């Protein structure tokens, strides 16, 4: 293949077509949450596909926090997210969560997230201790359900989340220094003005 | 970077008639109120199908669009330009990732989308099937192709599908650097030596016809999109988007003293819109059907990357994780 791109010209030849893949032969799905500033709640940013939680963390850092300043992020397997029904208008999703008797046995921590505006992201509102995701939703209803309509609730067991350690927070310290990724680093006004004056 | 307008199939209204009329009315009322549709909401099959098609093509355009610019990273003039271009190309690939995720929420797995791309089943923006002969071609893309993409993306960010709008909000925020960087590069060429000016003028001459194609066929000949506009899948007609681009960027190109290779290009004071020579839509069709200068090379590069990365994916594969549809 003759190309203008020297890198393309160096590529090895391969068979004409890629052999068919097995159906859905792809990595797992992980949800990504980012904290934009210290003290601000974590917000859902999107997903990455990865072979494990650690790789998901690394890929999430590149995909979601390489551009804008933030303090930290965490990731969790999508299968660990328990979601309430999605509602609209004046219907509160919490109204569709039926009370269940408190469960015995060990209680673990669950992180709770709200969607308060359709079209926007889920935001972290706090945590509860419960014996199951369902019980966590019921407890969240008592603890976090205020007068504001909540369209969707997520509950995630805290132990399933790959959090950022204190030392790892250094990963984001150099973000403000990378000015070459900012529009503000490309001021061409003076050069343009000089050029236009020379033309006149 | 993405040009809209070339992506929609002709709509069979029969498919809408088969939908539950009550659910359809609720769906349309929700959109009319300005509310977003989320993945778990009921939606007509046609809405789902056209959104998958549009978002998937947008994602492919980001991935393929990284190739004509990426080729200039090693030859960019100076360390700062190399760093900027690398960051820009990384952004474009990142945008592809965000968009594939949004399309996945509608039920099409990412691997299937990638397979459809490398097997030539899916389309992407025509403009990336043209070669970047010189650094000035690369600067044209960074400034003006990105500008055209921003016109489309800002409009689509006001659309009705939540995950696509969220991805576009993020993409548009990142694109502001691309646009300023591209303009910066062109200002330097414009105010440089006679050879540099000539280089950009030649790039402009080469890229203007594909740039006019970028917004898709004229409204006179493009598929009927009334339903898609009502559902806020498509937020403006192809001619509206083209006109908006011309309004914003023709004066900036002229300001730099360059000539646009279209003797008929002028703003019509009566209509308030731009008159221009009708683009060659036969060439547009040829290129989108695989007969452009670089179609074969672009897909071959993706195909080789897929094949060469296979052993890495195989080595990392584990039964502990599983692909599932993203939530939002």
Question: Is B263 a member of any domain?
Answer: yes
**Residue-level pLDDT at B223:** 64
Question: Is B170 a member of any domain?
Answer: yes
Q: Is A120 on the interface with B (CB under 8 A)?
A: yes
Which of A149-153, A175-179, B210-214 is the least confident region? A175-179
Q: Is A183 on the interface with B (CB under 8 A)?
A: yes
Task: Give the residue among A40, A93, A87 at the shortest CA–CA distance from A68.
Answer: A40
Of A15, A118, A185, the CB nearest to B35: A118
Instruction: Sketch the domain layout of chain A as residue ranges.
Output: 25-161
**Residue-level pLDDT at B228:** 87
Rounded-to-integer distance, Cα B298 and Cα B302, Å: 7
Question: Is B106 a member of any domain?
Answer: yes
Q: How far is A188 from chain B (nearest CA, A)?
A: 5
Question: Is B62 a member of any domain?
Answer: yes
**Interface contact A196-B80, CB threshold 8 A:** no
Q: Is A18 on the interface with B (CB under 8 A)?
A: yes
**Residue-level pLDDT at B7:** 47
Q: Which residues contact A188 (CB under 8 A, 6 or more apart)?
A: B180, B183, B184, B187, B188
What 3-state class would DSSP assign to B133?
coil
| pLDDT digits 0-9 by tens, B141-192 | 999 999 999 999 999 999 999 999 999 999 999 999 999 999 999 999 999 9
Rounded-to-integer distance, Cα A46 and Cα A62, Å: 13
Question: Is B100 a member of any domain?
Answer: yes
Q: Is A51 on the interface with B (CB under 8 A)?
A: yes
b/e map of A9-46 (b: 16 or more CB within 10 Å)?
eeeeeeeeebeeeeeeebbbbbbbbbbbeeeeebbbbb
Distances in Å between the Cα of B93 and the Cα atoms of A2, A63, B161, B295 are 24, 9, 22, 19
A110 with A128: CB under 8 angstroms? yes
More confident residue, A128 or A146: A128
> What tokens appear for A190 in the block?
């003076």
Rounded-to-integer distance, Cα A180 and Cα B147, Å: 19
Q: Which residues contact B52 (CB under 8 A, 6 or more apart)?
A: B103, B106, B107, B108
pLDDT above 70 covers a percentage of chain A that reads 94
**Interface contact A52-B191, CB threshold 8 A:** no
CATH of the domain at B277: 1.20.1260.10
Establish how many alpha carbons lie within 13 A of residue B318's alpha carbon, considering only the half-sphere containing its beta carbon.
11
Of A14, A77, A180, the CB nearest to B83: A180
Q: How far is B278 from chain A (nearest CA, A)?
A: 30
Of A29, A51, A86, the CB nearest to B38: A86
| Count: domains in chain B | 1
Of A26, A83, A185, the CB nearest to B323: A26
Name every chain B residue with its beta carbon within 8 A of the beta carbon of A1: 296-297, 300
Low-confidence ranges of chain B (pLDDT < 50): 5-8, 10
More confident residue, B51 or A102: B51
Question: Is B9 a member of any domain?
Answer: no
Name every chain A residue with its beta carbon within 8 A of the beta carbon of B97: 48, 63
Question: Is B7 a member of any domain?
Answer: no
Rounded-to-integer distance, Cα B28 and Cα B39, Å: 16
| pLDDT digits 0-9 by tens, A108-125 | 999 999 999 999 999 999
- Count the residues in chain B: 328
- Radius of gyration over alpha carbons of chain B, in Å? 20
**Looking at the DSSP assignment, which residues form a beta bridge with residue A124?**
A113
> What tokens appear for B326 in the block?
């993203």
More confident residue, A100 or A40: A40
What average pLDDT does this structure show over A47-53? 96
Of B91, B300, B316, the CB nearest to A51: B316
How many other CB atoms are found less than 10 A from the CB of residue B25?
A: 11
Rounded-to-integer distance, Cα B65 and Cα B68, Å: 6
End-to-end CA distance of chain A: 48
Name every chain B residue with its beta carbon within 8 A of the beta carbon of A55: 316
What is the pLDDT confidence band of residue A20, given thresholds at 50, 70 and 90? low
Q: How many helices (H) and strands (E) does chain A have?
A: 4, 7
Name every chain B residue with its beta carbon within 8 A of the beta carbon of A18: 118-119, 303, 306-307
**Looking at the DSSP assignment, which residues form a beta bridge with residue A33?**
A44, A74
Name every chain A residue with its beta carbon within 8 A of the beta carbon of B191: 191-192, 194-195, 198
Instruction: Provide the mean pLDDT of chain A.
Output: 91
Q: In what order do the strands lie in the sheet with A123-130?
A: A72-77, A28-35, A43-50, A123-130, A108-115, A152-157, A81-83
Mutate to test the interface with B, among A16, A54, A152, A180 (most CBs of B within 10 A): A180
- Count the residues in chain A: 200
DSSP secondary structure of A140-170: HHHHH--SS--SEEEEEEGGGSBPPPTGGGG
Domain of B32?
Answer: 16-316
> Is it the case that residue A54 has pLDDT exceeding 60?
yes
How many other CB atoms are found less than 10 A from the CB of residue B130?
A: 21
B25 with B42: CB under 8 angstroms? no
Question: Is B242 a member of any domain?
Answer: yes
Which of A16-20, A185-189, B48-52, B117-121 is the least confident region? A16-20
| pLDDT digits 0-9 by tens, A67-87 | 888 999 999 999 999 999 999
**Residue-level pLDDT at B221:** 81
Task: Give the residue among B105, B110, B164, B326 at the shortest CA–CA distance from A76.
Answer: B326
Name every chain A residue with its beta carbon within 8 A of the beta carbon of B109: 24, 26
Name every chain A residue with its beta carbon within 8 A of the beta carbon of B131: 4
Rounded-to-integer distance, Cα B55 and Cα B153, Å: 11
- By CB neighbour count within 10 A (0-12 exposed, 13-18 middle, 19+ buried), where does A66 fall? middle
Establish how many alpha carbons lie within 13 A of residue B46's alpha carbon, considering only the half-sphere containing its beta carbon.
24
Conformational region of residue A119, where left means phi above 0, alpha means psi within -120 to 50, and beta covers everything else: left
> What pTM value is reported for the model?
0.94
Q: Is A22 on the interface with B (CB under 8 A)?
A: no
Name every chain B residue with its beta carbon within 8 A of the beta carbon of A50: 321
């Amino acid at each position: 293949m003759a190309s203008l791109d020297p890198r393309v010209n160096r590529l090895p030849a391969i068979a004409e077509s890629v052999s068919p893949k097995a159906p859905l032969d792809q990595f797992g799905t992980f949800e990504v949450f980012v904290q934009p500033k210290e003290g601000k709640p974590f917000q859902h940013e999107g997903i990455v596909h990865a072979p494990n939680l650690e790789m998901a963390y690394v890929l999430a850092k590149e995909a979601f926090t390489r551009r804008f300043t933030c303090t930290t992020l965490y990731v969790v397997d999508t299968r660990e997210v328990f979601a309430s029904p999605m509602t609209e208008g004046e219907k509160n999703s919490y109204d569709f969560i039926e009370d269940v008797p408190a469960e015995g046995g060990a209680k673990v921590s669950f992180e709770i997230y709200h969607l308060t505006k359709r079209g926007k992201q889920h935001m972290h509102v706090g945590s509860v201790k419960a014996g199951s995701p369902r019980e966590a939703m019921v407890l969240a209803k008592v603890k976090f359900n205020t007068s504001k309509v909540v369209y969707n609730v997520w509950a995630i067991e805290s132990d399933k989340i790959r959090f950022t350690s204190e030392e790892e927070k250094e990963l984001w310290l150099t973000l403000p220094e990378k000015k070459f990724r900012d529009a503000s680093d490309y001021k061409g006004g003076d050069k343009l003005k000089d050029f236009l004056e020379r033309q006149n | 970077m993405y040009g809209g307008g070339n992506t929609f199939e002709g709509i069979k209204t029969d498919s809408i008639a088969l939908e539950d009329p009550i659910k359809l009315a609720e769906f349309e009322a929700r959109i009319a109120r300005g509310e977003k549709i989320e993945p778990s909401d009921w939606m007509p099959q046609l809405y789902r199908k056209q959104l998958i098609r549009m978002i998937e093509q947008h994602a492919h355009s980001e991935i393929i669009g990284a190739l004509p610019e990426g080729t200039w990273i090693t030859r960019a003039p100076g360390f700062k330009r190399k760093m900027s271009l690398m960051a820009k190309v990384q952004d474009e690939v990142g945008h592809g990732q965000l968009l594939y995720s949004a399309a996945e929420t509608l039920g099409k797995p990412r691997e299937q989308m990638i397979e459809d791309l490398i097997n030539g089943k899916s389309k992407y923006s025509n403009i990336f099937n043209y070669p970047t002969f010189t650094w000035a071609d690369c600067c044209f893309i960074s400034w003006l192709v990105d500008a055209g993409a921003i016109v489309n993306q800002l409009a689509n960010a006001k659309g009705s599908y939540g995950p696509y709008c969220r991805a576009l909000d993020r993409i548009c925020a990142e694109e502001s650097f691309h646009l300023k960087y591209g303009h910066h590069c062109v200002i330097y060429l414009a105010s440089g030596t006679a050879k540099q000016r000539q280089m950009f003028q030649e790039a402009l001459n080469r890229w203007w016809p594909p740039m006019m194609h970028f917004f898709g066929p004229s409204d006179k000949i493009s598929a009927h999109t009334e339903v898609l506009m009502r559902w806020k899948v498509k937020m403006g007609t192809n001619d509206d988007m083209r006109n908006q681009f011309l309004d914003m960027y023709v004066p900036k190109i002229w300001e730099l003293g360059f000539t646009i290779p279209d003797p008929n290009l002028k703003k019509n004071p009566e209509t308030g819109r731009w008159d221009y020579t009708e683009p060659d839509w036969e060439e547009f069709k040829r290129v989108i059907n695989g007969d452009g200068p670089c179609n074969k090379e672009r897909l071959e590069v993706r195909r080789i990357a897929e094949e060469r990365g296979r052993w890495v994916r195989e080595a990392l594969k584990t039964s502990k994780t599983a692909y599932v549809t993203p939530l939002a």
